[in-house]
Amino acid sequence: MKRHYMFFLRPVALILGLAVAGLAQADAITDQAKALLTAGKPAAAFELLLPFESQRAGEVEFDLLLGIAALDAGHNTSAVFALERVLAVDPNNSRARAEIARAYLALGETQTAKQQFETVKGQPVPEEVKRTIDKFLSAIERSEDEGRTTVKGYAEFTYGRDSNVNSTVSGKDVAIPAFGGALITLAAAGVKQSDDFTTYAGGANLRMPLSNGLALVGGMSASKRMNGQWDIFDTGSWDGNLGLALARDKDVFSLSAQVGTFYVDDKRYRDAWGLSGQWQHNYDQRTQATAFLQYSDLAYPLPAQNYAGKKRDATRWVGGLGFAHALSDFRTVFYGSVYVGYEQPRASQIDEIGYRINGVRGGGQYKFSDDWSAFANVSYEHRGYRGIDLFFLQKRHDGAWNAGFGAVYVPAKDWKITPQYQYTRNDSNVATSDYKREVLSITVRRDF
């Protein structure tokens, strides 16, 4: 955690003009030290300056250079002493105060670091600096949250355009093999329809430490999507989860129970409950791997949802592996996962609606600045159904492609604006399940 703080505090130093190249020229010793720091050799700079400390302690520029070199070389206590001398002479030196805050973080003295950062914010520094410091104060707060009970929530609003709100075919005439290939004309609700939509969503999450590394975790969320014209395809959902998370060194284990309901046209469409387990291994600050297993029990409560006179209730298992990696500058992050599973109806003799799945997902994000980032994602899932479809007289196979891209803008602390585009292509040998879909949207989110 300390190394993580130190990396992210360097941008503050650069914004404030802490880059050693910005220091006024003094003499050959300080010039050589600045050159070494600029070349990324803080240990050499520290060894160069240290023999002169007793003679030149109290010189602002010398002590500032010594403090920066000591801190970047891992001599955190020496850095604090040198930077304290700078502040004793010049209390308004925001450069030295930001560096000493970084040193206190490296020593684990988060409260003192917070005080120093708050002092820098109160000085006449650019707004960009204040926003960056807010980010690090939030990181300190998250670290402190690990030892206390926290409840955090969010609310978001989305507006967009959906080219296929009912996820179906574009043509109204479909040949049905079970009827001798006769063409059936679909009703308007069975043909691709485009529409505007709005979505409201919100939720809250709880984390309660129980003992060393063990915490109770839980959450609730709900959403409601409303189409402009085709309200019979309005959807909604609520979900809840409660479980335990155990952190041990570089590993985090979690197990939770989940429950929820999905609605279509304000009617209960599907109820679900299940269990989810995950193991996350953090190789270092930039790399992590996960393994997960999920079980779900699905129930369809409405008689109209029966298939061939039998209830569609089913069990579903999914397991997979994931991986995420950030490049050394932490601006670029890549992630991916693979998974397999199946869904099996409880009733006998309706295997044609049960299927096996396998899929792969991947994506990345690039951070241009503290305010702006861009992302892209792609996924593919294959579903192989187990029985012969009653109407199309063959086993159904679907290949679902999804790709998207977008941006994230952070106008202020705890606010996000996300415009994005998503494209879906479901390639199926069953005509009524073969479709394309495009969604363009913008989401405004507030975290609490």
**Given pLDDT bands bounded at 50, 70 and 90, which one contains residue 251?**
very high
> Which of 145, 169, 190 marks a domain boundary?
145
Do 391 and 438 share a domain, yes or no? yes
Do 74 and 211 share a domain, yes or no? no
Do 131 and 156 share a domain, yes or no? no
| Side chain identity, residue 226 | M
Do 216 and 271 share a domain, yes or no? yes
**Given pLDDT bands bounded at 50, 70 and 90, which one contains residue 14?**
very low
Res 448: pLDDT:
93
What's the rounded Cα separation, in Å, for the pair 402 and 424?
4
- pLDDT tens for residues 97-129? 888 888 888 888 888 888 888 888 777 777 766
Which range of 46-50, 253-257, 280-284, 312-316 scores highest in mean pLDDT? It is 253-257
Res 320: pLDDT:
98
Do 160 and 141 share a domain, yes or no? no
Res 18: pLDDT:
45
Do 185 and 298 share a domain, yes or no? yes
Q: Between residues 316 and 61, which one has the greater pLDDT? A: 316
SS (H, E, C) the chain: CHHHHHHHHHHHHHHCCCCHHHCCCCCHHHHHHHHHHHCCCHHHHHHHHHHHHHHHCCCHHHHHHHHHHHHHCCCHHHHHHHHHHHHHHCCCCHHHHHHHHHHHHHCCCHHHHHHHHHHHHCCCCCHHHHHHHHHHHHHHHHHHHCCCCEEEEEEEEEEEEECCCCCCCCCCEEEEHHHCCEEEECCHHHCCCCEEEEEEEEEEEEEEEEECCEEEEEEEEEEEEEECCCHHHCEEEEEEEEEEEEEECCEEEEEEEEEEEEEECCEEEEEEEEEEEEEEEECCCCEEEEEEEEEEEEECCCHHHCECCECCCEEEEEEEEEEEEECCCCCEEEEEEEEEEEEEECCCCCHHHCEEEEEEEEEEEEECCCCEEEEEEEEEEEEEEEEECCCCCCEEEEEEEEEEEEEEECCCCCEEEEEEEEEEEEEECCHHHCEEEEEEEEEEEEEC
- pTM of the entire predicted model: 0.74
> Which of 130, 145, 160 marks a domain boundary?
145
* Domain region containing 13: 2-145
Do 126 and 174 share a domain, yes or no? no
Do 135 and 217 share a domain, yes or no? no
Summarize the confidence of residues 295-313 as an average pLDDT: 86
Q: Are 141 and 134 in contact (CB under 8 A)?
A: no
Q: What is the total count of domains within the chain?
A: 2
**Given pLDDT bands bounded at 50, 70 and 90, which one contains residue 76?**
very high
Q: Flag whether pLDDT at 92 surpasses 90.
A: no
Do 27 and 66 share a domain, yes or no? yes
Res 119: pLDDT:
85
- pLDDT tens for residues 308-363? 778 889 999 999 999 999 998 788 999 999 999 999 999 878 888 999 999 999 99
Summarize the confidence of residues 358-370 as an average pLDDT: 95
* CATH, residue 74: 1.25.40.10
Q: Flag whether pLDDT at 4 surpasses 50.
A: no
Do 275 and 317 share a domain, yes or no? yes
**Given pLDDT bands bounded at 50, 70 and 90, which one contains residue 21?**
very low
**Given pLDDT bands bounded at 50, 70 and 90, which one contains residue 24?**
very low
- pLDDT tens for residues 386-435? 888 888 889 999 999 999 999 999 999 899 999 999 999 999 999 889 99
> Which of 85, 116, 145 marks a domain boundary?
145
Rg (Cα) of the chain, in Å, rounded? 29
* CATH, residue 265: 2.40.160.60
Do 110 and 133 share a domain, yes or no? yes
Summarize the confidence of residues 227-243 as an average pLDDT: 97
CA angle 196, 361, 434 (to 5 degrees): 50
Res 446: pLDDT:
98
Do 227 and 376 share a domain, yes or no? yes
Mean pLDDT (the chain) is: 89
Res 68: pLDDT:
92
